[in-house]
Amino acid sequence: MGILIKGDFRTKLTSKLSKYRSKDKTPEYQKEVFSELFSKFPQFKAHVASYIERNYCGVVINDEDHSNPSTLIDLISFDELLMLNRWITDRSKPKTLCHKRTSDK
**The pLDDT of residue 1:** 43
CA dist 76 → 6, 19, 41, 51 (Å): 25, 24, 19, 10
Q: What is the pLDDT along the chain (105 residues), one digit of tens a residue?
A: 455 555 566 678 888 888 889 899 999 999 999 999 998 888 888 889 889 989 988 888 877 777 789 989 999 999 999 999 988 876 655 545 455 556 555
- pTM of the predicted model over 0.85: no
Sequence letter at residue 46: A
DSSP 64: T
**The pLDDT of residue 5:** 53
**The pLDDT of residue 79:** 94
The burial class, CB within 10 Å (0-12 / 13-18 / 19+), for 60 is exposed
| DSSP SS3 for 15 | helix
